[in-house]
């Protein structure tokens, strides 16, 4: 069944149904306990997914920089030369 047809069947816009599907998929990927939260609204799932995405984004930003916030980029040629002559 197409997304358009499914949206008609449940009387929800195609855009909303597509968003719900994306939230469900993300919830499954991040380990949302659908059975324990079956009485909750979609907003609870959205909050859970947002928290996981925010945490994932923070972890990615952390991995791109050192603990002191400086880049882990390779030292410049000048820095390499200076370290060799010490």
Handedness of CA 64, 29, 45, 16 (dihedral sign): positive
CA pair distance 79, 86, nearest whole angstrom: 11
Confidence check: pLDDT of 75 > 70: no
CA distances from 14 to 9, 11, 26, 42, 43 (A): 11, 9, 18, 16, 18
Confidence check: pLDDT of 9 > 70: yes
Confidence check: pLDDT of 49 > 90: yes
């Amino acid at each position: 069944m197409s997304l358009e047809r499914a949206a008609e069947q449940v009387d929800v816009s195609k855009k909303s149904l597509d968003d719900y599907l994306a939230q469900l998929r993300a919830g499954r990927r991040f380990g949302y306990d659908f059975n324990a939260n079956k009485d909750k609204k979609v907003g609870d799932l959205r909050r859970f997914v947002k928290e996981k995405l925010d945490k994932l984004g923070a972890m990615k930003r952390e991995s791109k920089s050192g603990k002191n916030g400086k880049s882990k980029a390779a030292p410049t040629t000048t820095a390499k030369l200076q370290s060799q002559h010490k």
